[in-house]
Amino acid sequence: MEIFGQNVFNQDVMREKLPKAVFKNLKKTIDEGLPLDPTIADVVASAMKEWAVDRGATHFTHWFQPMTGVTAEKHDSFITPTDNGILMEFSGKELIKGEPDASSFPSGGLRATFEARGYTAWDCTSPAFLREEADVTTLCIPTVFCSYTGEALDKKTPLLRSMEALSSQALRILRLFGNTTARRVISTVGPEQEYFLVDKAFFERRLDLIMAGRTLFGAMPPKGQEMEDHYFGTIKERVGAFMKEVNVELWKLGVTAKTQHNEVAPGQFEIAPIFETTNIATDHNQLVMDTLKRVALRHDMVCLMHEKPFAGVNGSGKHNNWSMSSSDGQNLLEPGHTPHDNIQFLTFLLATIKAVDEYAGLLRASCANAGNDHRLGANEAPPAIISMFLGDQLADIVEQIETGAVKSSTIGADMKIGVRTLPALPKDATDRNRTSPFAFTGNKFEFRMVGSTFSISGPNIVINTIVAEALKQFADRLEGSSDFDADLEKLLQETAKKHKRIIFNGNNYSDEWVEEAAKRGLLNLPNTPEALKELVKKDAVELFVAHNVFTEKEIHSRYDIMLEQYSKTINIEALTMIDMAKRSIIPAATSFVTEVAHSVAAVTAVCSSIDVSAQKDLLGELSSNLSALNKNVKALEKIVEDAANISDVAKQAAAYREEVFSKMLEVRANGDALEKVVSADYWPLPTYAEMLFNL
């Protein structure tokens, strides 16, 4: 209790440090999402500085989230020269607005470097915090980042806009149900974060882990995850010590680190906080990823956040648990106790079903990157097909709504779907489905496709916006209604009928589902270049523009940035692979081949009748693998060069996927075949067995 939030300039600190009127003004701004009153900025800044300096801070930074997916900062000290020395100063102007220039971040053409101004502006809904690194303490102020012309260059601005969109549409629905007290609806998120740990000594000897965050070579060891003995296993001491320190660091930052456990793959772990407002959950998830990486190093380990560090065992994702709460304290996805509550719940539920069905492509695109392509569709993560799991009881009720004859699933009596006559819904459906990409888990949806490296901003921008749109269409239809109950019943029935194809309660990992989904007309977008196209389709652009989440220019710039990031990622991986093959693997295999060849010659020279067939077999196997590797590496060099020269971003990304990436699979197969026959004494890289089982 003492350390929780100790490094956060939170509401308690504000209450203590700010004049009463200023505090009230600021709190109202934060609670109701109003624009900040500039006249209080100086007072807030000065209190914030004093608090930070008291705790040893010398610098402050606007902490923002450019399109790289990680956070960015540029530190300024508080010192200001005076006639007779210096003062520690921090003005309201410095608090609310920064001009970091920051012209080298991706902008997808929104900014040319000659008009280099980029601005950061304080997001007072997310509290400022102190970051302690060794003996340096820095005051970090969460900010948005935009261009001179006001376009969003970051991941926070559109997220805040999407939260506004959801709030205004959800409020319209609540009003229809007679709610006059709620002033906002907030989307809430609890992201579960998976990651791997490896010993730093091994990491340092793997160029692929250093450059690409994943192994580009590596044969499977005799044991993988098949014994299921790591999942939820006893946490080893070294890892436990690391987790303890991670928790303390996070608690100081006000992050509610709650759950931790060993995950499925050896060397894999998970951490989950308690859910919060999406904006803060997004900032906090960045702090979680950052803290995991920094603390791991103190324990001579490296935290691998990549979606697939080790081919052959499970990769890492991020389960995005999402719901909506009203400011008067209701979880709108919580089935209620009374029929009245239930019809409201079913309205929000069916709006979400409609949203996911209509914009499945956008959800898929929001989880697309080169790393996640290794997971989606492999039998460990949801397939690239979006569907929803409701559980048997809820799916049954939706089916009954569709047929217009609702029976209670619990008491079996005939019921009509009127406001007065709804069944009591199961509060905590006991069945769980771990294979569904979008699963209802009792009072929230769990979006399971998100990759472990992702900022959760993108996926939540999409969820908030598509649900806002569905709610808008509901409200548009119902607001003028003269018979609300009857019209609502009709609307829900139509919605259930039209969108039930998205509901699937079976095994999403099965081949039958892929076939069945195709029959239902559901999208199956297997890779990033394909999935990203969904972002710039006409109806997607119209959706984002209509809800003021992205301008047309912003969405196109994001599409370009993401395609470029995809191509750059594969390019780096391919070049790393070529480097490792040419400078480590081929030389090591060649030395070993030479030794074996010498052995054949030496043994035969001593006695020509001795059987050297073993050495000759080995020589043959080594040489054929070596020449296959060599040939494919040469081919890869040429293919990468060709892809790098394509100027159209979409065509280039497609070439990296179809040409470069598929050649890399062959190169890897050749390298891994060699690993299995080259003497361990000669093999230049730490093996899977070493990296996965040595913590």
Instruction: Point out which residues bind Mg ion (CB under 5 A).
Output: 192
Please tell me the distance from the alpha carbon of residue 121 to that of residue 471, in angstroms, as a whole number.
30
Q: Does 321 bind ligand ADP (CB under 6 A)?
A: yes
Give the number of other CB atoms < 10 A from CB of residue 354.
Answer: 23
Please tell me the distance from the alpha carbon of residue 537 to that of residue 305, in angstroms, as a whole number.
31
79 binds, among Mg ion, ligand ADP, none (CB under 5 to 8 A by kind): none
Q: Does residue 614 sit in helix, strand or coil? A: helix
Site for ligand ADP in 442-501 (CB under 6 A): 443-444, 446
Q: Does residue 72 sit in helix, strand or coil? A: strand
Alpha helices in 11-62 (DSSP H): 11-17, 20-32, 41-54
321 binds, among ligand ADP, Mg ion, none (CB under 5 to 8 A by kind): ligand ADP
Q: How far is the CB of 165 from ligand ADP (least distance, A)?
A: 18
Please tell me the distance from the alpha carbon of residue 89 to that of residue 52, in angstroms, as a whole number.
11
Closest to ligand ADP by CB, 334 or 554: 334
Residue 344 CB-density burial (10 A; 0-12 exposed, 13-18 middle, 19+ buried): buried
Q: Does 260 bind ligand ADP (CB under 6 A)?
A: no
Closest to ligand ADP by CB, 120 or 320: 320
Give the number of other CB atoms < 10 A from CB of residue 405.
Answer: 11
Q: State which of residues 242, 275, 559, 656 lies at the interface with ligand ADP (CB under 6 A).
A: 275
Q: Does 170 bind ligand ADP (CB under 6 A)?
A: no
Residue 638 CB-density burial (10 A; 0-12 exposed, 13-18 middle, 19+ buried): exposed
- β partners of residue 66: 154
Q: Does 190 bind ligand ADP (CB under 6 A)?
A: yes
Q: Does 332 bind ligand ADP (CB under 6 A)?
A: no
Closest to ligand ADP by CB, 36 or 189: 189
DSSP string covering 127-160, please? Answer: --EEEEETTEEEEEEEEEEEETTS-B-BSSHHHH
Q: Does 263 bind ligand ADP (CB under 6 A)?
A: no
Closest to ligand ADP by CB, 281 or 626: 281
Q: State which of residues 139, 257, 272, 467 lies at the interface with ligand ADP (CB under 6 A).
A: 272
Closest to ligand ADP by CB, 281 or 395: 281
Q: Does residue 434 sit in helix, strand or coil? A: coil
Q: How far is the CB of 613 from ligand ADP (least distance, A)?
A: 55
**Chain-centroid distance, C-alpha 558:** 16
- Give yes or no for a contact between 143 and 99, defined as CB atoms under 8 angstroms apart: no
Residue closest to ligand ADP when measured from CB atoms: 190
Q: How far is the CB of 389 from ligand ADP (least distance, A)?
A: 12
- β partners of residue 80: 87
Q: Does 277 bind ligand ADP (CB under 6 A)?
A: no
190 binds, among ligand ADP, Mg ion, none (CB under 5 to 8 A by kind): ligand ADP
> Total number of residues binding ligand ADP (CB under 6 A)?
17
Quick one: which segment of 321-329, 388-396, 508-516, 534-542 binds ligand ADP (CB under 6 A)?
A: 321-329
322 binds, among ligand ADP, Mg ion, none (CB under 5 to 8 A by kind): ligand ADP
* Non-local CB neighbours of 173 within 8 Å, separated by 6+ positions: 344, 347, 348, 351, 471, 474, 475, 478
Site for ligand ADP in 200-259 (CB under 6 A): 259
- Give yes or no for a contact between 574 and 581, defined as CB atoms under 8 angstroms apart: no
Over its C-alpha atoms, the chain yields an Rg (Å, rounded) of 28
Q: Does 331 bind ligand ADP (CB under 6 A)?
A: yes
Q: Does residue 587 sit in helix, strand or coil? A: helix
Site for ligand ADP in 405-444 (CB under 6 A): 443-444
Closest to ligand ADP by CB, 277 or 679: 277
Please tell me the distance from the alpha carbon of residue 164 to that of residue 456, in angstroms, as a whole number.
17
Q: State which of residues 94, 154, 192, 249 lies at the interface with ligand ADP (CB under 6 A).
A: 192
Closest to ligand ADP by CB, 434 or 631: 434
Q: How far is the CB of 277 from ligand ADP (least distance, A)?
A: 10
- Residue labelled with tokens 């779907």: 417
Could you list the residues that contact ligand ADP (CB under 6 A)?
Answer: 188-190, 192, 259, 272-275, 319, 321-323, 331, 443-444, 446
